[in-house]
C-alpha cells in the first residue's frame, strides 16, 4: 500500500480511529507501563528508595519461590480448578446458545436470556453468601438429601476439602453461564440464512441444521475463545476461593493469586510477589502461544 492510499484509508476511517484511541491509551497506561515494575522481581525492593537505588539480587526470589512447597500447592489448586472450569464451563455456554437459537418465541427467548444474564451482575460476595447458606447443614441441599433419605446426617459441604473444587467450579458456571453465551449468539447471527433454507429444502431437521450449519458456522469463534481460555488458565483470580474457603479447606483453596497476595504483598515482600507475578504472566503467554500453534496445526484456525 503506497503512502497516498494509506493516507486516504486513515482519513476515511478517522472516526473509527478516534473511537479506539481511548482504549489504546488505557491499554498503554494500565497494561504496558506497569511492566516497568517487573525489575522489582530482580531486586530486594524496599519502599522509600528510588527503584534505581534498590539492591539487585538476580533470580533470588525465583529460586526461593521454586523451593517453597506452598507455591506448588497453590499451582496445583490453580491448575485443577482452571481445568475443571474449562472442561465443564466452556461447552455449556455453546450448548445454551445453540438451544436459545432454536427458540422461536421471541418473548420467551428474551426472558430466558435475561434470567441467565442476571447472575453475572451479582457480586461474588453475595454469591458466596448464597452458596454458603444453601450448602450449610440446615441449607436446602441437606434438607432435600435428608427428606429423601439419601443421607442420615447433614453433610458439611463447606468444611470438606473434597467438595471445595466442585463448589467453586459450579458456582462460577452458574454465575457466568448466561453471560458467556452472548458472543456465541452474536456469532450465530452472522451465519447466512440461505444455508438454513437450503437445508430445509433438503429435508434436514432442526437438530441436523444445528449440527451441520450452526455449530460449524460459529467454530472460528469457539476456537478463538478456547485459545484465550487456555492462555488464561493460570489467571483464575482469587475472589471465589477467598470468599468460599474456610479454615478446613485452606489447603485446597489457595491459588497462585492468593499465594502472591499472602506471601508477597501481605508480608511486605514486594519483590517476591512481583517474581511470582512475572512467572504467572510468562506461563500464560507460553500457554497462549502453544494453544494458538496447536490450533493452527490441527484445525486451521488461529487467533494470531
Which residue ranges form the domains of the chain, and what is each CATH number? 1-57 (no CATH), 59-299 (1.10.3720.10)
The pLDDT tens digits along the chain (304 residues) read: 567 788 888 888 889 889 999 999 999 999 899 888 899 999 999 888 888 888 999 999 999 999 999 999 999 999 999 999 999 999 999 999 999 999 989 999 999 999 999 999 999 999 999 999 999 999 999 999 999 988 889 999 999 999 999 999 999 999 999 999 999 999 999 999 999 999 999 898 889 999 999 999 999 999 999 999 998 899 888 999 999 999 999 999 999 999 999 888 888 899 999 999 999 999 999 999 999 998 888 888 777 7
- The DSSP secondary-structure symbol of 268 reads T
pLDDT on residue 229: 92
Answer positive or negative: Cα dihedral of 56, 58, 62, 67: negative
Joined grid coordinates for residue 35 = 511492566
Joined grid coordinates for residue 29 = 497506561
Joined grid coordinates for residue 168 = 467453586
**pTM for the model:** 0.88
Which of 74, 125, 116 lies closest to 251 in space, CA to CA?
74
pLDDT on residue 181: 95
Half-sphere exposure for 132 (CA within 13 Å, toward CB): 14
Joined grid coordinates for residue 244 = 468460599
Q: Please tell me the distance from the alpha carbon of residue 287 to that of residue 227, in angstroms, as a whole number.
A: 9
Amino acid at each position: 500500500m503506497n503512502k497516498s492510499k494509506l493516507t486516504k484509508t486513515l482519513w476515511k476511517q478517522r472516526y473509527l480511529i478516534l473511537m479506539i484511541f481511548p482504549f489504546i491509551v488505557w491499554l498503554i497506561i494500565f497494561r504496558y507501563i506497569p511492566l516497568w515494575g517487573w525489575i522489582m522481581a530482580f531486586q530486594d525492593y524496599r519502599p522509600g528508595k528510588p527503584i534505581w537505588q534498590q539492591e539487585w539480587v538476580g533470580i533470588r526470589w525465583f529460586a526461593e519461590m521454586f523451593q517453597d512447597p506452598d507455591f506448588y500447592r497453590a499451582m496445583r489448586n490453580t491448575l485443577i480448578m482452571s481445568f475443571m472450569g474449562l472442561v465443564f464451563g466452556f461447552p455449556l455456554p455453546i450448548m445454551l446458545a445453540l438451544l436459545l437459537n432454536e427458540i422461536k418465541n421471541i418473548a420467551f427467548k428474551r426472558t430466558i436470556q435475561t434470567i441467565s444474564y442476571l447472575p453475572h451482575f451479582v457480586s461474588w460476595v453475595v454469591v458466596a453468601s448464597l452458596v454458603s447458606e444453601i450448602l450449610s447443614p440446615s441449607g436446602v441441599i441437606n434438607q432435600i438429601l435428608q427428606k429423601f433419605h439419601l443421607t442420615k446426617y447433614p453433610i458439611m459441604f463447606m468444611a470438606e476439602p473434597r467438595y471445595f473444587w466442585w463448589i467453586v467450579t459450579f458456582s462460577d458456571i452458574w454465575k457466568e453461564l448466561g453471560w458467556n453465551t452472548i458472543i456465541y449468539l452474536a456469532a450465530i447471527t452472522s451465519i447466512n440464512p440461505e444455508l438454513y433454507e437450503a437445508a430445509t429444502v433438503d429435508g434436514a431437521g432442526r437438530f441436523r441444521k444445528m449440527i451441520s450449519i450452526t455449530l460449524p458456522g460459529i467454530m472460528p469463534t469457539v476456537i478463538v475463545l478456547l485459545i484465550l481460555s487456555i492462555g488464561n488458565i493460570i489467571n483464575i483470580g482469587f475472589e471465589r476461593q477467598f470468599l468460599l474457603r474456610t479454615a478446613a479447606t485452606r489447603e485446597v483453596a489457595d491459588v497462585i493469586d492468593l499465594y502472591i497476595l499472602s506471601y508477597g504483598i501481605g508480608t511486605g515482600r514486594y519483590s517476591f510477589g512481583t517474581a511470582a507475578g512475572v512467572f504467572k504472566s510468562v506461563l500464560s503467554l507460553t500457554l497462549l502461544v502453544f494453544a494458538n500453534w496447536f490450533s493452527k496445526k490441527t484445525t486451521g484456525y488461529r487467533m494470531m
